[in-house]
């Protein structure tokens, strides 16, 4: 949970799949501002690959690219907002939003934080590392995550779900490591810049349930893209 928090079982639900597509479409639209050609736009290429892995329909993907690049008329303008604060029991939290209406989002996020504590910029960011996070799965029997991390230029690696590996990179090396990993027997499932807690908090029982309910309410907001939580697994 110290990397990116996810609602338990969320990805299996049909409505969750729709939300995932919505988030990816926003990221694609923003990346496409720098050009609709994935070969010339590394950021767009990463998000498009992630969308394909999530089985986003081709028409939806292409429309998001065209919309962001302004090929369908006026380009859509999403603003990225970052909120810092604490969930109940002083669990540090960073929330990333993409919105086309800043005033609305600010007001609604403030309401959602009532059971926690919304902080100023920098209030908890110091307790997180800003990293590239690449989840990749082995596609050859001899794929060695340690060798792949060293040769591809990752800073570190650790086991992820369903036999995958999470490769951690410097923020500026994300695209280069993504391109290199297939050479060492790994297929990239997802890649993003994110935040990782340096000192995650350990909770259990009713306290953990309270925090998870708080996080679920924030995650359900349409403008919330990612949440990074200093909560030990």
pLDDT tens-place string over residues 137-177: 999 888 999 999 999 999 999 998 888 999 999 999 998 99
State the average pLDDT over residues 100-125. Answer: 93
Confidence at residue 1, expressed as pLDDT on a 0 to 100 scale: 40
Read off the pTM. Answer: 0.76
Q: Which residues of 63-96 are buried (b: 16+ CB within 10 A; e: fewer)?
A: bbbbbbbeeeeeebebeebebbbbbbeebbbbbb
Return the higher-pLDDT residue of 4 and 200.
200
- Fold designation for 10-69: Arc Repressor Mutant, subunit A (1.10.10)
Return the higher-pLDDT residue of 183 and 71.
183
Gap between the Cα atoms of 196 and 2, Å rounded: 6
CA torsion, points 42, 105, 200, 170, in degrees to nearest 10? 20
Confidence at residue 75, expressed as pLDDT on a 0 to 100 scale: 61
Positions of E strands within the chain: 79-87, 91-99, 117-119, 128-138, 156-159, 165-169, 186-197, 224-229
Ramachandran assignment for 59, one of left (phi > 0), alpha (psi -120 to 50 degrees), beta (any other)? alpha
For the chain, first and last CA: distance in Å? 6
């Amino acid at each position: 949970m110290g990397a990116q928090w996810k609602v338990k079982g969320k990805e299996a639900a049909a409505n969750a799949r729709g939300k995932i597509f919505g988030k990816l479409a926003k990221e694609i639209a923003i990346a496409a501002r720098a050009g609709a050609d994935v070969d010339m736009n590394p950021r767009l290429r990463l998000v498009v690959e992630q969308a394909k892995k999530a089985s986003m329909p081709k028409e939806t993907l292409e429309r998001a690219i065209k919309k962001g690049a302004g090929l369908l008329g006026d380009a859509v303008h999403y603003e990225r907002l970052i909120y810092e604060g604490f969930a109940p029991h002083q669990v540090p939290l960073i929330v990333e939003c993409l919105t086309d209406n800043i005033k609305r989002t600010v007001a609604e996020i403030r309401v959602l934080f009532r059971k926690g504590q919304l902080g100023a910029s920098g209030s908890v960011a110091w307790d997180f590392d800003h990293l590239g996070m690449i989840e990749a799965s082995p596609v050859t029997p001899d794929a060695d995550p340690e060798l792949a991390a060293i040769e591809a230029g990752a800073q570190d690696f650790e086991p992820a779900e369903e036999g995958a590996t999470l490769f951690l990179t410097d923020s500026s090396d994300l695209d280069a490591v993504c391109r290199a990993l297939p050479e060492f027997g790994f297929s990239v499932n997802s890649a993003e810049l994110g935040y990782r807690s340096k000192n995650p908090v350990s909770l259990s029982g009713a306290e953990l349930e309270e925090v998870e309910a708080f996080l679920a309410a924030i995650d359900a907001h349409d403008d919330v893209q990612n949440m990074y939580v200093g909560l030990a697994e």
